[in-house]
Structures are given as C-alpha cells and as structure tokens.
Amino acid sequence: MSIEWRLRPGPPLRAVSLMKRTRTETPDTMRLRPQATPSDPPAFLFLSPAVDLTWTARLEGRDADAYDAFVLGSPSGHASQTRAWAPVACAGAAVTSHFMILRDEQQVVGTAMLLRPTAAGVALPWGWVERGPVVSEVAAIGPVTSALAGAALRRGILRLRVMPYWADDDARRVEEALRAIGFHDVQTPDGAHAATLRMDIERKSDVELFAGKSKSQVRWRAKQAEKAGALARPGTRRDWARLREMHRDLMHSQGRGDKSDAWWIALQQFADASDRGGLFACEYDSRVVAAAVILRHGPRATYMLGASVTDKLPFSKSIPPLLAGIRWARDVGCTTFDLGGIPLEDDEDPKRKRIAMFKYDFDKKPVRLVREHARWCASRR
C-alpha cells in the first residue's frame, strides 16, 4: 500500500496534542483521533479522517498479530523492535516496555516498542526506541514519530530518543525528516552503532560466500583454523555459560561492566528459538575458545555479539564461529548478513577499532545507518 503524507508548516507536535482520546475495551489502551482547527494548523495531516493510535504495555489478539506482521514485513524492521525482544530489553534493569501501533484506515502505518526507566517503581520522564519507530516507507517517519512523541508526552515522557533502522540514502532522508520535527543528533561513539558492514548471502554456495579478492583474508584464516584443528559447531547450553565468561573478560578489559544474569537468560531464550537466532561455538584442544550469537529478523541475519579467550592461539579465534553463523543464516533463507556494527569514522577509541578490525575481512564498504536523535517532547522545535 502506498501512503501519502501531506505536510503543513506549524508546531511539530500540535496535531498530536489536539487528538481527542476515546476509551476502548482495555484500560491500558487508548485510541486517538486527530482534531485540528483552522486557526492552529497541524504539523501534518493524515489523508484519512480515521487515524487510531494504540498505546499499551501488553499487546494481545489481533493487535499483537498486526504488530508482529508489520515489524517483520517492514524494510526498517529490527529484532529489537519485536515483542519477543521486550524481555531481553527489560531484563535485569529498572525498565518497562510500551507498545504503540498507529493505524490509518485500519491499516498499520507505524509501530514502536518504547522503553522507559523507573526508580523505586516510579516511571521516569524519558524514554527511547531502539532501532525504531518502524515504518514501511521513509515518507511516514515524520508523522509517525510526531504521533509517538505526542503520545509519550501525554504519559509524562518529556524527552524521547529514537533511532529508526534505515541505511545509506534512506538513512539521510530519515534524519532530515527527524530534524524537521525538532529532533537533534545525539549519537555518541560508544552508543548503539550507526555504521555497519553487510554481505549478500542469498543462495550462495560455501565457495561463493567467501570468494573474491576482498575476502582472501577470510579464506586464509579459515584454512589456518582448520589446519590447527579448530571445530565450529552450533552452541549448547553449556556454551552459553562459557560465552558469558569470555564476554565478561572482554568487557573488563575495556573497563566496562557485564550484563546481568537475567539479561543473559533472556537472550538465550530469545536466540534458542530457531526462527530468531542461534549460538555458534569454536572448539579447540577440547575446550570452547570462542563463541558468537547470531540473530535473525526476516531476510536479514545479524552478528550480535561474540567473545573469545585471551590466550594466543595459532589461528584467528573469532572467525570459525562467525563462518558457521553465516552459513546457518544462508541455510535458513536469509539474504543479507549484517556484521553487527563498526566504529564511526571519527571514533578515535583504539579498543573499539581493534575489536571490529576482523569484520573488514568480510566486506570493506561501510553501510551508513540512522544516527540516534532526541528531542524534548514539549518543545515546539
């Protein structure tokens, strides 16, 4: 379905603030319909007179199905915007999740899973949307994000951060749309990555996956690991515990803390579902020396995290589990493999650059993503 948005000058959130609330069957869900007056022009107009905004802590029935289908089918969909990811996002942290669905003529045109921190059980006045909101086309990002910001403001959220998941030219257009409604670039070098590398893996043989001069280092490192006797395989429950040990050591080497027990348990439960991801381990000398978590969302698989032992071994430890993850992604029907982020060009931190260096062996062309943006919801610009 092609959707046209007609924009008018005016306060970016005013159209949302003029929406009239009407209750539905569930107490935690609210429907919104825009009511603009000629004397106070809105920031946007929906072509349909029937626009519904659903905001709830728990989606059920048809709403849940509609949300899942939209996030899965959208080109800007991401695993961290799925309902299944909510337990991971909130695990071990004082954070609550909230879901928004925006409909036009009963068709979903935008969704978001917003996270909001709490202190002593009290909701704090800010929130963020990881890799969202989700829309089906770039032209919808302004109206949908405006509606999200207005709905958040009515619920006491004064500052909102968003990071829609679009790439390259689409990412630039999305950032222009966000600036037009008062959002500002707040990307930091140690924040969620805003650049990545991607591989085309659709229906490629093992040879084709890593063919070409640009991947010569991958082939050389794979042969090096094979010659040393390293074995890559799907991970087991014990391997999850081993990954956590290695990841904890990695974080400590960077002066950072590890994730909580609850987070690791939630991540394992998420990735253990065959349609959502998997763990891949590298075994050498009768012990696991490296492991990687690969997540799947629609036709794209993404390297989420990995870690290895600090020992010096006669091969590149990170390569075998990553190769196994790439082959698995191809076998389950994915068409693109995302290497999970690289440092920004102006990032001068040597540790981040060193850790990401091996990813350039797989592809050397950076993919630009939308940078994180934020605004005060009550501000007109």
Give residue 48's pLDDT: 55
Q: Which amino acid is at 258?
A: D
What are the tokens at 303?
């390297």
pLDDT given at position 380: 58
Q: What is the pLDDT of residue 253?
A: 82
Provide the whole-model pTM: 0.85
From first to last of its 381 residues, what are the pLDDT tens digits of the chain? 444 433 333 333 333 332 333 333 333 443 444 433 333 333 343 435 567 999 999 999 999 999 999 999 999 999 999 999 999 999 999 999 999 999 988 899 999 999 999 999 999 999 999 999 999 999 999 999 999 999 999 999 999 999 999 999 999 999 999 999 999 999 999 899 999 999 999 999 999 999 999 899 999 999 999 999 999 999 999 999 999 999 999 888 878 888 999 999 999 999 998 789 999 999 999 999 999 999 999 999 999 999 999 999 999 999 999 999 999 999 999 999 999 999 988 888 887 887 788 899 999 899 999 999 999 998 655
Dist. CA 202–CA 333, nearest whole Å: 7
Q: What is the 3-state secondary structure (H, E, C) of the chain?
A: CCCCCEECCCCCCHHHHCCEEEECCCCCCEEEECCCECCECCCEECCCCCEEEEEECCCCHHHHHHHHHHHHHCCCCCHHHCHHHHHHHHCCCCEEEEEEEEEECCEEEEEEEEEEEEECCEECCEEEECCCCEECCHHHHHHHHHHHHHHHHHCCCCEEEECCCCEHHHHHHHHHHHHHCCCEECCCCCCCCCEECEEECCCCCHHHHCCCHHHHHHHHHHHHHHHHCCEEEECCHHHHHHHHHHHHHHHHHCCCCCCCHHHHHHHHHHHHCCCCEEEEEEEECCEEEEEEEEEEECCEEEEEEEEECCCCCCCCCCHHHHHHHHHHHHHCCCCEEECCCCCCCCCCCHHHHHHHHHHHHCCCCCEEECCCEEEECCCCC
Tokens 């036009």 belong to 104
Residue ranges of the chain that CATH labels 3.40.630.30: 6-189+370-376, 198-334
Tell me the two tokens of residue 35. 């009511």
Q: What confidence score (pLDDT) does residue 50 get?
A: 62
**Distant-in-sequence, close-in-space partners of 24: CB < 8 Å, separation ≥ 6:** 30, 31
Q: Judge whether 259 and 349 are in contact, CB under 8 Å.
A: no
For position 256, what pLDDT does the model report? Answer: 83
| CA dist list (Å): 219 to 211, 226, 284, 319, 323 | 8, 11, 19, 10, 10
pLDDT for the residue numbered 49: 56
Residue 337 carries which side chain, given as an amino acid letter? F
Check residue 10 and give its pLDDT.
36
CA-closest candidate to residue 222, choices 210, 234, 238: 210
CATH number of the 6-189+370-376 domain:
3.40.630.30
For 198-334, the fitting CATH number among 2.40.50.140, 2.40.160.60, 3.40.630.30, 1.10.8.60 is 3.40.630.30
What pLDDT is stored for residue 30 in this prediction?
Answer: 39
